[in-house]
Amino acid sequence: MRVSKRLSYVLRHEPSSIGLTLDAAGWAGVDDLLGALGAHGLLLTRAELEHVVAANDKRRFAFDEAGTRIRASQGHSVDVVLGYRPLTPPAVLFHGTADRHLPAILAEGLRPGRRHAVHLSADADTALRVGRRHGRPVVLRVDAAGMVATGAVFTRSDNAIWLVSAVPAEFLAQV
């Protein structure tokens, strides 16, 4: 298993799979993570971990300012409060998905599923790449300005992914 995939699994979904505990904001001690990974067959040095974090094209992981803790930037299915401040998003955001999900999404809107929030991109190209990971891609245009006008609260993760609790169908259009 690729190191970044294993880190995503552990830091977003199943920290207990290696005996790790995340704090309320999703942080784990770097030394604790490295020790737990090593005890479960993935020997990783601090330098290798730093390389994975720096080289991850989606910037999925972040160190705290002191460099002693690490967390996933978003996408958690475990209960965490990431503490991102509400921000006004661009007027239009995008969401990439597989075409097989389109009928349900257009009828019911976007829901977070097992995650804490719906993930949105600032550009259609990024959304298209996300959609390709799930099948034949479809890109949806999200009227973020319209949502803000109705009181929707948006945040942005450390890796520039826009997050919102849900996107009602009336704010969606296929690109």
d(CA 133, CA 81): 27
With tokens 């009336």, the residue in question is 170
- For residue 79, being part of any structural domain is answered with no
Query: Can you give the pTM of this predicted structure?
Result: 0.79
- For residue 105, being part of any structural domain is answered with yes
Quick: pLDDT tens for 25-56.
999 999 999 999 999 999 999 999 999 999 88
Whole-number pLDDT of residue 162: 97
Whole-number pLDDT of residue 91: 98
170 and 126 in a common domain: yes
153 sits in the region (left: phi over 0; alpha: psi -120 to 50; else beta) called: beta
Q: What is the CATH number of the domain that holds 110?
A: 3.20.170.30
Domain boundary among 15, 40, 72: 72
45 and 7 in a common domain: yes
d(CA 36, CA 122): 36
Domain count within the chain:
2
Give residues with Cβ within 8 angstroms of 25, minimum separation 6: 71, 80, 81, 82, 83
Structural domain range at position 15: 3-72
Residue 1 has pLDDT above 60, yes or no: no
97 and 170 in a common domain: yes
Whole-number pLDDT of residue 49: 96
CB 86 within 8 A of CB 147: no
Quick: pLDDT tens for 79-131.
888 899 999 999 999 999 999 999 999 999 999 988 889 999 999 999 999 99
